[in-house]
């Protein structure tokens, strides 16, 4: 039967108008937020049922699902990536922790300010990938207030 419509009554052009309006509404909300529609939402992968089943014992859990070890790991990466580290920060650690904060990997709370901080550490020490990400964040104004935005840094 050609008269059946799924979810929206009327014709295909009528349905298209509803779907377009919904898509534009979502994009307006994303672009008006702190990520300006350029950053994906956090990627939370904890499986609470798995943690419960294994009683929270880390040895029985996958690497993304060890909440009791998260803060220790972050503290270790922060120490390695510190600008005060002699002779220079560990750029792999800086890039890793920046990605954790940018994407919200492994249960880390998404924090774009901290992501920018660690990407800038990478860029200051000629790590092209981390520096490039810091530049993009400067161009888009992500992870900073409008007053902090510095396009000179983005193109340096």
Per-residue pLDDT tens for 51-91?
A: 556 555 555 556 555 555 678 888 888 989 987 777 889 99
pLDDT category at 11 given cuts 50, 70, 90 is confident
- Residue 126 above 50 pLDDT? yes
Give the C-alpha separation, 43 to 94, whole Å. 19
pTM of the model: 0.64
The candidate with the shortest Cα–Cα distance to 127, out of 101, 100, 85, 88, is 88
With left for phi above 0 and alpha for psi between -120 and 50, is residue 150 left, alpha or beta? beta
């Amino acid at each position: 039967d050609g008269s059946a419509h799924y979810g929206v009554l009327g014709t295909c052009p009528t349905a298209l108008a509803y779907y377009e309006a919904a898509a534009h509404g979502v994009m307006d909300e994303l672009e008006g937020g702190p990520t300006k529609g350029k950053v994906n939402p956090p990627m939370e992968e904890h499986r609470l049922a798995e943690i419960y089943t294994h009683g929270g014992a880390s040895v029985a859990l996958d690497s993304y699902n060890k909440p009791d070890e998260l803060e220790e790991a972050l503290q270790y990466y922060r120490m390695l990536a510190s600008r005060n580290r002699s002779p220079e920060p560990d750029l792999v650690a800086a890039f890793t922790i920046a990605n954790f904060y940018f994407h919200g990997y492994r249960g880390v709370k998404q924090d774009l300010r901290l992501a920018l901080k660690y990407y800038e550490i990478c860029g200051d020490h000629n790590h092209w990938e981390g520096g490039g990400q810091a530049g993009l964040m400067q161009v888009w104004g992500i992870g900073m207030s409008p007053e902090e935005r510095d396009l000179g840094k983005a193109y340096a």
